Amino acid sequence: MLLSDFRARTSRAIHWPSSRLRLLIGAIESFHLAPSEQMLDAVGRCLNAWQMQDPREYAERGQPIRQELDIALLAARSLCPGLGLIAIVDPSAHPPYEPNAWNTHNVRVKTNCYAYACNDRYDKEGNDELPHPGLLLAQYYPAEFVSYMATGHAEYEKVARKPQPAGGFAAPARTVEADVRFRVMLDDMARGKMNMAGLKSCIGSEQPGYQPANIPGHYLAALFIAENDYHWYRQDNTGYWSHKPGQGEATNLDVAGRLIRDPRVRPLPGYRLSGFYHVPKGGVRTATYPRPAPAAPGAAPAAAEHSGPAAAGAAQAPSQNASGSAPASGAAGSAGPVSSSGGAQRGSPRSGSGAA
């Protein structure tokens, strides 16, 4: 698909296209005539507005050609070397930016930044807490989770639960950072036991001057840390980044209302980069909902139905003698990390509520 074909491909049989579609057509044609960084950003903003504000027209005219359009826009970015986007090497491995799919009520309130960055979308009933790092191991292997938290991470006994935005203790940022990264490792242990792919930490990515790079079969995610919170971003197949603050809406705009080219530029207030991760194509599972029922001795806890993209090809849960429920809040092995909302709850003091 050529960008010059967009008007013909989207306007056939439409006697009066919406104002958002007309603006998008104009922005694409302006970019086609005079490629520039500013015009390409304008195309992205107009595409966002059309997708969000005219969902029926977008579903009929935009969704069928969206993959072709994303490929064309990705190629167009080569005309703007100063755009500052991290190069994509395998567009098929990156998730599409689909805010309407994530911002329905059931999905929005039952997912957070961690689930979003891992492309783990679900809307099943029975959710009793958001998918914090570490919850997957706590649900399927609770005894091992408690053991690792008590013996391998004993210093976090006193910060077993994330403080609430309304008050509570403030854990040092270094403690929060190490705790979250440790719990991501625990989740990867659970994924490995279930023959699922896991996250790959980009070694040294927290250092100044590090240049993240994509690899085939994966997309990039970024972990940010605040004084008593964490937040995740992901890179979509458009080349831009998006995120989902807590139970708020998914967005690809930063705190200034601009498309996110690099999450390190204008992150949420009070947050700093902890590191980048490579996420396998399709995403990874972050939790199982509803929570597994207690299994009889010697029986395997059944894997709950999981409707998100990360569920594709998932293996059955392995044998475990203990209950599938997580340890009680406040215990050394609490499943909840030092985070209240699953990262950057919308409207919280540190959320940067204008980001979305």
DSSP at 330: T
Structure tokens at 260: 């996110």
C-alpha span between 270 and 289 (Å, rounded): 31
The answer to whether the beta carbons of residues 115 and 131 sit under 8 Å apart is yes
pLDDT of amino acid 277: 97
Q: Among the listed ranges 102-116, 257-271, 303-317, which one has the minimum average pLDDT value?
A: 303-317
Q: How large is the average pLDDT for residues 246-264?
A: 91
Verdict on whether the full-model pTM lies above 0.75: no
Q: Among the listed ranges 102-111, 148-157, 187-196, which one has the minimum average pLDDT value?
A: 148-157
Give the residue, 327 or 293, on which the prediction is more confident.
293
> Sorting pLDDT into bands at 50, 70 and 90, what band is 234?
very high
Residue spans of alpha helices (H) in the chain: 6-11, 19-33, 37-53, 55-57, 66-76, 99-102, 105-110, 113-117, 135-140, 142-147, 173-193
Amino acid (1-letter code) at residue 36: S
Long-range contacts of 81-85 (CB under 8 A, 24+ apart): 82/37, 83/37, 83/40, 83/261, 84/261, 84/262, 84/265, 85/239, 85/240, 85/261, 85/262
Element holding 220 (H helix, E strand): strand 218-225
Please give the order of strands across the beta sheet that includes 218-225.
200-201, 272-280, 218-225, 230-235, 241-243
Q: What is the DSSP string of 77-90?
A: GGG-GGG-PPPPS-
pLDDT of amino acid 219: 97
Mean of all residue pLDDT scores within the chain: 75
The answer to whether the beta carbons of residues 271 and 344 sit under 8 Å apart is yes
The answer to whether the beta carbons of residues 285 and 307 sit under 8 Å apart is no
> Sorting pLDDT into bands at 50, 70 and 90, what band is 287?
confident
pLDDT of amino acid 64: 85
Q: How large is the average pLDDT for residues 36-42?
A: 79
DSSP at 253: B
pLDDT of amino acid 113: 96
Model confidence pLDDT, tens digit, residues 331-354: 344 555 444 345 554 333 233 333
pLDDT of amino acid 79: 63
Structure tokens at 343: 């990262």
Q: How far is CA 347 from the centre of its chain?
A: 18
Q: What is the DSSP string of 120-153?
A: -----TT--S---TTHHHHHH-HHHHHHIIIIIS
> Sorting pLDDT into bands at 50, 70 and 90, what band is 322?
very low
Greatest alpha-carbon pair distance for the chain in Å reads 69
pLDDT of amino acid 33: 76
Q: How many CA atoms within 13 Å lie on the side-chain side of 32?
A: 13
